[in-house]
Structure 1
């Protein structure tokens, strides 16, 4: 039996954007949208939310944006409010190749 698209997911789109930015700080909005499966406009809104609330910084470098994450910022939901987002990012960040640190 084939697998169909999931009707729900454990991670929100906001979490997925954070994870993808952690993996590639110079990722383009177009590429984020394709990786996550949402519209470019949806990604732009999420990036604006994350920037406004202090989770994300943006710096224009030439024609591209370079994003930084405030990994010490805490989750927003009351039951996780004492937990830094660094823990989530560390779970999903791809490890450096051997010999790279």
Structure 2
């Protein structure tokens, strides 16, 4: 009994691919996340939790898909991070129509003993002040 040859599927040519839609809304006017320079390591000084919080402080109504793209993680990971931040009292979520609006509770202290003398507001001021 002869086996049927496995056919290898080829991806469509670039001209045949559907165009990807990019939407820029007033709530999330964030520029695309910069790509790391060649030769730089893949680690960062700040955690994904802090990256999510920084973005939400700048763009309180940013959709989670956009947050995920900016941070470079999955949308599900962003959902878990937001749940962590809400559970620990670092952010509050308010439903505005069909959108969520996030408020950062800037008076909360940072969690690690080395930085516990600083607040979330101090961190955000340091990062956002340079923009």
Q: Which has the larger radius of gyration?
A: 2
Aligned-partner Cα distance in 2 for 1:50–1:26: 16
What number of residue pairs does the alignment pair up?
95
> What is residue 99 of structure 1 aligned with on the other side?
none
Secondary structure (helix, strand or coil) at the match of 1:79 reads coil
Could you tell me which of 53, 57, 67 is aligned with 2:92? 57
Secondary structure (helix, strand or coil) at the match of 1:78 reads coil
> What is residue 112 of structure 2 aligned with on the other side?
77
Structure 2 runs not aligned, ≥5 long? 1-36
User: 1:17-96 to 2 correspondence within 5 Å?
Assistant: 17-93=52-128
Aligned-partner Cα distance in 2 for 1:38–1:92: 20
The alignment's TM-score, normalised by the length of structure 1, stands at 0.86
Between 1 and 2, higher relative CO (CA 8 Å, sep ≥ 6) is seen in 1
Aligned-partner Cα distance in 2 for 1:7–1:95: 23
Aligned-partner Cα distance in 2 for 1:82–1:55: 16
Structure 1's consecutive aligned runs of 4 or more residues displaced over 4 angstroms after TM superposition are none
Q: CA RMSD in A?
A: 1.8
Aligned-partner Cα distance in 2 for 1:16–1:22: 10
The alignment's TM-score, normalised by the length of structure 2, stands at 0.67
Secondary structure (helix, strand or coil) at the match of 1:6 reads coil
Displacement of 1:6? 2.8
CA contact (8 A) 1:23 1:94 kept: no
